[in-house]
């Protein structure tokens, strides 16, 4: 029994309607979203992700992990393109993507509202699995290749690494985002006691 040839439309995620309107969100919207969160807010911050497939995958993972909003800088980062929307498989229409002019300033404002910021870097000695990821949390992921920028890293309360066994230096940002978000989900489900000092 032979396979029928695939058309271009077969390759698209059927969850994505590119004709649907996607709302733009600002920094003011971010703090409204956090204030209305039913549980402790969980925010994903992407520091300059430029690949549309990576952003789409991060949005998709963030949506299924229960993230309240995704924050990206307006400059030097990919925006909400059709490629991003296709890769997100419908998540771009469901989760707020907040593009901000000054990421470091937004991170400081998040901290001022009581959100703890945990950044990821392979230079940290502290493991992702040794830090509390419950409570109001902003998970900060670096860009492809460059990782976190200096000013972004300086705003983080903690810097952690994902422990790896192999010889490859780091994970793709969308994969690392999935690992980190679902560790936060696991801890929130199990309500791990506080280890922040």
Quote the pTM value.
0.86
d(C-alpha 1, C-alpha 9), whole Å:
23
Domain ranges (residues) in the chain: 20-190
H/E run at residue 72:
strand 69-73
Helices (H), 27-149: 27-36, 52-65, 82-88, 103-112
Per-residue tokens: 98: 């907040």
CATH architecture of 20-190: 3-Layer(aba) Sandwich (3.40)
pLDDT number for residue 16: 61
Res. 9: pLDDT tops 60: no
Check whether 75 has a pLDDT greater than 90. no
- How far is the first Cα of the chain from the last one, in angstroms, to the nearest whole number? 64
Per-residue pLDDT tens digits for 83-120:
888 988 888 888 999 999 999 999 999 999 999 999 99
């Amino acid at each position: 029994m032979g396979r029928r040839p695939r058309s271009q439309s077969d390759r698209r995620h059927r969850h994505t309607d590119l004709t649907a309107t996607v709302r733009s969100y600002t920094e003011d919207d971010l703090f409204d979203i956090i204030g209305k969160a039913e549980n402790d807010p969980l925010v994903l911050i992407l520091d300059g992700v430029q690949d549309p497939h990576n952003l789409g995958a991060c949005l998709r993972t963030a949506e299924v992990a229960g993230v309240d909003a995704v924050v990206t800088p307006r400059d030097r980062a990919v925006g909400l393109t059709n490629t991003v929307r296709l890769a997100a498989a419908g998540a771009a229409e469901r989760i707020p993507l907040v593009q901000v002019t000054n990421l470091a300033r937004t991170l400081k404002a998040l901290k001022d509202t009581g959100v703890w910021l945990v950044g990821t870097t392979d230079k940290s000695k502290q493991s992702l699995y040794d830090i509390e990821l419950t409570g109001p949390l902003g998970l900060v992921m670096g860009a492809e290749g460059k990782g976190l920028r200096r000013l972004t890293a300086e705003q983080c309360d903690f810097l952690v690494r994902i422990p790896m066994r192999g010889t490859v230096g780091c994970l793709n940002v969308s994969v690392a985002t999935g690992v980190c978000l679902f560790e936060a989900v696991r801890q929130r489900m199990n309500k791990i006691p506080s280890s922040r000092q």
